[in-house]
Amino acid sequence: MAENVYILGINMTKFGKHADKDVVDLGAEAAMAALADAGVTMRDMGILAAGNLMNAGAGFGQRLQKQIGQTGIPVYNVANACATGATALRTVIMAVKSGEVDMGLAVGVEKLAGAGLLGGGGTPKKDSKVWEPSGRFGAVAPTDGRIGTDAMPGTFAQVGMEYGHKYGEVSFETFAKISEKNHAHSVLNPLAAYSKRFTLDEIMNDMMIAYPNTRPMCSANCDGGAAAVVVSETKLRTLSLGQQRRAVKISASVLTTDPYEEGCQILPNVNTLTRNAAKIAYEQAGVGPEDLNLVELHDCFATAELVHYDNLMLCPEGGAVEFFESGAPWRDGSTPVNVSGGLQSKGHPISATGIANIWEVCHHLRGEAGDRQIEGAKVGLAHVIGLGSACGVHILEKSAA
């Protein structure tokens, strides 16, 4: 289990509206492009992990196979909230690390254009004015309309407000400035769903979705796919020098869920499992937050980005506001965060996001990020979190070849 593994090829579709394509079309586009990027074919793959959460139902991976090549290999169909793509990738990583296969393909794809607000809104409620849990499932859900909301904007609005309550007030303007940063970054990303810069006034005066998140501060529901080819170090050394030079080392791959906490049995806690994942990842990779040249984190809302500065230990505990105000997370700062534009601009087709975040980091480590390139990037971190809850953290390093 000690052998190093690498991303040999990776690709993502343009995120946005793809009315003429279904999830198999988008998944196949991303998969074939990742294989081409790696310089290999489906015949070289020993495993396929296919992630889709909301569209395809059972057997998505098998249907995808029919489009990209049926070679009889094992297929894993993955669904793990917003961490679906990262989980699919980790499934392949573990198969390669185990020695069962020397190469594998992970795909994540979703169609969400026009989906509206995601979550539990609109669920009928009993007439009782008192929320009464019923049975094992009822003890943990639903909470919508009883003690808060299950809808994502409201949940993550509460996450941000809770951080301010714990560590000192965070102004509405600070949250809006985080969104301003990400939209500014997006203008350099041709694959982003939205590549438009917003002024701070435009962001603050747009439609309020759930205070303090206005519409531009929320992730964009859209269609898209992403895919990655993973290879063992032993196999990589048999490939061309060009392939070796573009390969990106996966120094850490971590997936966590909630540890037991009384509060999180009812309300989700995005903090503890993220901090736990980050600690394990830094230990696995033998690096610290200070070694990161860029970070792609799960900014499903502007409030989420702020708390994850802290959870990923990019700043001292309680110091997220100071970290942001220092300019560190801007593209020209000391720790660039969401140079892609983040989920607020790049978009958030749920199952594709985990691999798309890694795609961004890989392109900087390869020196292939074009106008948004972080010069000299050698180490990057990609993070996703899905309520329920699951958190994936990957640390990636530039090839030494």
- 291 DSSP 8-state letter: G
Q: What is the pLDDT of residues 354-391, one digit of tens each?
A: 999 999 999 999 999 999 999 999 999 999 999 888 99
- For residue 314, being part of any structural domain is answered with yes
- For residue 195, being part of any structural domain is answered with no
- For residue 162, being part of any structural domain is answered with no
Q: What is the domain range of residue 282?
A: 5-114+220-395
- For residue 188, being part of any structural domain is answered with no
Cβ-contact 303, 176 below 8 angstroms: no
Distance between CA atoms of residues 138 and 153, nearest Å: 22
pLDDT for position 251: 98
pLDDT above 70 coverage of the chain, percent: 89
Q: How many domains does the chain have?
A: 1
List CB contacts of 29: < 8 A, sequence separation 6 or more. 13, 21, 225
- For residue 138, being part of any structural domain is answered with no
Q: What is the pTM of this model?
A: 0.92
Segments of the chain with pLDDT less than 70: 1-2, 116-150, 263-267, 401
> The domain that contains 310 carries what CATH number?
3.40.47.10
Closest listed residue to residue 199, CA positions, set 188, 214, 221: 214
- For residue 212, being part of any structural domain is answered with no
- For residue 79, being part of any structural domain is answered with yes
- For residue 102, being part of any structural domain is answered with yes
Q: What is the pLDDT of residues 174-202, one digit of tens each?
A: 999 999 999 999 999 999 999 999 999 99
